[in-house]
Amino acid sequence: MVGAGQGASAAGSAAPGAATAPVTAGATPVASIAELVGGLRAGYDSGRTRGLEWRRKQLAAGIALVKENEREILEALRVDLGKPALEGVMAEVSYTLGEARFMLKKLAGWLKPRKVSTPMMAQPGKSVLVQEPLGVVCVIAPWNYPFQLAMVPALGALAAGNTVVLKPSEVSAATSNLFARLIPRYFDSSAMRVVEGGVVETSALLEQRFDHIFYTGNGAVGRVVMAAAAKHLTPVTLELGGKSPCYVDPSADLDVAARRIAWGKFYNAGQTCVAPDYILAHASVHDRLLEKLAATVKQFYGADPQRSPDYGRIVNQRHHRRLMKLLGSGDVVVGGTGDEATRYLAPTVLKNVSPDSPVMAEEIFGPILPVLKVSGPEEAISFVNRREKPLALYVFAGDRDVAEQFIARTSSGGVTVNHAWLHLAVPELPFGGVGESGMGAYHGQSTFDTFSHMKPVLKKPFLFDPSILYPPYTEGKQKMIRKLL
């Protein structure tokens, strides 16, 4: 078994930008997909998934998979994204373990019927909500955090008593191949299966009838998933993205703010759905903030971030070219260089950015941070509210009233005050979007609830059966019923 330190050391032996042999994800034969889903349907219909011990066994299998294969997981992440070992440990390995252990600890309590009050009209009686699984679930994962964004929802679906088809992203091919090897070793084929491939395989998969589809990715594909789900009236959870704004107030500690924003933005080379997408800086601190951001980038990654073992890479050349085109949207404060051959793009801060520039048109999903100047909270709030609802919003302000204004007057999937995206690390806080940034939520109990139906049950005895409910509806009965309603 590989411990955290041991696995990190092994995976960190190669520099993030080191050349690796091209990796191609496997492709599940399209003709086998219907049979594969049918096998999972049979597994669910057998009734074996409903018991507490079966669910615990699946969570234990997931924990064992992560702990016993940490070295391979981190290496796959390095190949796919040049991901530094410590970032792989924190955001992928440890996070997945934390969620799985939390679910394992709480599972028995979540399965207990939840009592609710019974009104007078239904007395005597007992009202409860009984958890039941949905059936066969499809989890379609993205490439930016390809391990944990696949495993966490999949384990949550199993914990809720479902069977699962896991579709990893073909873009993160090394991780996809890893799932194809490991899942059959740790999970029964009637509990979870992996479908690999690209558009053709995913399209064939979406033709099948599922009881829930959980998709993480962009809005364009999210619409395709939702349209396919509509054919079977299948409910969906869409974890999308959006341009998550970050306001910096004069009351903020600029040294701390610069460090936390730079960390949140350039983690995973900016390929994080909740990364600060752009900064709205108060005019009085705009120039100083730029100076501190530039200094922080140098402090984090050195004078040449391309040589830093702590900085990742863009997932492929196509995305690298897309991002390079955005560099002309403003004046470069720091960074602004790239190397397509090694998929390197320097951590970049831009100033003098127009709100109508290409870099402000859609989610950046890369290490480019535009900084715009605003006159104060009012202008910043107005700016945010004129755009689509983001997945996250960040406010850096020592003045609590300023933070409360943003919380009360803007809409976003979640908010972190004085830090970047740490709200998603709290299991009791549901994580999800609103509007264009998604629908539905997960993490902690919310994951379990997403893949469950809370079935309402009313239990009544035969002992007491007043005739007041039954015809004929006499005047006396009507008066009494009106008093009870």
Find residue 373's DSSP bridge partners.
281
Q: Looking at the predicted structure, is the pLDDT value of residue 466 above 90?
A: no
Contact 191, 58 (CB under 8 A): yes
Contact 458, 126 (CB under 8 A): yes
Q: Looking at the predicted structure, is the pLDDT value of residue 77 above 90?
A: yes
DSSP assignment, residue 272?
A: -
Question: What would the mean pLDDT of 234-240 be, rounded to a whole number?
Answer: 98
Question: What would the mean pLDDT of 96-103 be, rounded to a whole number?
Answer: 97
Min mean pLDDT across 6-15, 52-61, 284-293 is at 6-15
Rounded CA-CA distance 74/54 in Å is: 29
pLDDT value, residue 14: 44
Rounded CA-CA distance 160/138 in Å is: 14
- Which pair of structure tokens corresponds to residue 293? 């951001």
Count Cα neighbours of 256 within 13 Å in the Cβ-side half-sphere. Answer: 13
The DSSP result for 19-54, as a single string, is: -----------HHHHHHHHHHHHHHHHTSGGGSHHH
Strand spans (E) along 119-232: 126-133, 136-140, 163-167, 192-194, 212-216
- Which pair of structure tokens corresponds to residue 162? 């479902």
Report the sign of the C-alpha dihedral through residues 58, 60, 62, 64, in that order: negative
Location of structure tokens 């950046």: 364
Residues forming the active site? 239, 273
DSSP assignment, residue 208?
A: S
Question: What would the mean pLDDT of 425-432 be, rounded to a whole number?
Answer: 94
Provide the whole-model pTM.
0.93
In 3D space, the residue among 420, 299, 242, 278 whose CA is nearest the CA of residue 351 turns out to be: 278
pLDDT in tens, 16-73: 444 455 689 899 999 999 999 999 999 999 999 999 999 999 999 999 999 999 999 9
Which of the given ranges, 5-14, 119-128, 430-439, 473-482, has the highest pLDDT on average?
430-439
In 3D space, the residue among 103, 90, 3, 112 whose CA is nearest the CA of residue 58 turns out to be: 103
- Which pair of structure tokens corresponds to residue 298? 């140098």
| Cβ count near 181 (within 10 Å) | 12
Spatial strand order in the sheet of 452-459: 114-116, 126-133, 452-459
Rounded CA-CA distance 227/220 in Å is: 11
Quote the Cα angle for 294-355-363, to 5°. Answer: 75
Count Cα neighbours of 284 within 13 Å in the Cβ-side half-sphere. Answer: 7
pLDDT value, residue 8: 35
Q: How confident is the model at residue 7 (pLDDT cuts 50, 70, 90)?
A: very low
Q: Looking at the predicted structure, is the pLDDT value of residue 13 above 50?
A: no
Count Cα neighbours of 318 within 13 Å in the Cβ-side half-sphere. Answer: 1
In 3D space, the residue among 154, 194, 188, 180 whose CA is nearest the CA of residue 72 turns out to be: 180
| Cβ count near 383 (within 10 Å) | 17
- Which pair of structure tokens corresponds to residue 20? 């690796």
pLDDT value, residue 9: 34
Q: How confident is the model at residue 121 (pLDDT cuts 50, 70, 90)?
A: confident
Quote the Cα angle for 210-211-212, to 5°. Answer: 95
Contact 44, 133 (CB under 8 A): yes
Which position has the higher pLDDT, 22 or 463?
463
Q: Looking at the predicted structure, is the pLDDT value of residue 10 above 70?
A: no
Q: How confident is the model at residue 484 (pLDDT cuts 50, 70, 90)?
A: confident
| Cβ count near 105 (within 10 Å) | 10
pLDDT in tens, 126-159: 999 999 999 999 999 999 999 999 999 999 999 9
Q: Looking at the predicted structure, is the pLDDT value of residue 107 above 60?
A: yes
pLDDT in tens, 302-345: 999 999 999 999 999 999 999 999 999 999 999 999 999 999 99
pLDDT value, residue 480: 85
Q: Looking at the predicted structure, is the pLDDT value of residue 378 above 90?
A: yes
Q: Domains along the chain?
A: 4-240+439-454 (3.40.605.10), 245-432 (3.40.309.10)
Strands 431-432 and 163-167: unpaired
Task: Using a pLDDT cut of 90, give the percent of the chain over it.
Answer: 90
* CA separation, residue 248 to residues 188, 399, 430 (Å): 50, 11, 25
pLDDT value, residue 20: 55
- Collapsing DSSP to helix, strand or coil, 352 comes out as coil
Contact 192, 59 (CB under 8 A): no
Strands 414-417 and 338-339: unpaired
Question: What would the mean pLDDT of 71-78 be, rounded to a whole number?
Answer: 98
- Which pair of structure tokens corresponds to residue 1? 């078994």
